[in-house]
Amino acid sequence: MTPTTPAPGNPVAADGHIDDDRLVDLSLTEEPSRVERTHLAGCATCRDGLAALRRTVELTRASASVATVAPGPEVWSRIEAELDGESRADDDSRRSDVVVPLRASTPAEPRRRR
């Protein structure tokens, strides 16, 4: 398997793309290096990924000024009931009617040679 993280000093990973963590850094505050700018100019995958991350950052920053309303207790009760139901379903799915014989944990006595 080819590693996808870039070699030290090289922003482009072995798979030919800028590492996801580096794209996140670029979307937040950092400016791309000359090598990264060249790569972004020729790689639609990385360019589109960076653009999507930048849009997400912009929307997140813009929504920071939006007033939010805390959900009422009835919402939390419904969420809790839903989670409890999923938990019980998970417990039920672990049960099985199939019986699997277990092997002995100690080896059998060696056979005698004739």
Residue at 72: amino acid letter = G
Q: Is 16 left (phi over 0), alpha (psi -120 to 50) or beta?
A: left
Which of 9-13, 21-25, 108-112 reaches the highest mean pLDDT? 21-25
**Rounded distance, CA 10 to CA 36, Å?**
9
To which residue do tokens 């999507």 refer? Answer: 52
How far is it between the farthest Cα atoms of the chain?
88
Q: Mean pLDDT in the chain?
A: 80
> pLDDT at residue 27 above 90?
yes
**Rounded distance, CA 6 to CA 11, Å?**
6
Confidence (pLDDT) at 12: 75
Domain boundaries, the chain: 1-65
**Rounded distance, CA 60 to CA 63, Å?**
5
> pLDDT at residue 113 above 80?
no
Residue at 23: amino acid letter = L
Tens-place pLDDT, residues 32-71: 999 999 999 999 999 999 999 999 999 988 888 878 788 8
Number of neighbouring beta carbons within 10 Å of residue 32? 19
Confidence (pLDDT) at 21: 92
Residue predicted with more confidence, 98 or 12 = 12
Confidence (pLDDT) at 30: 85
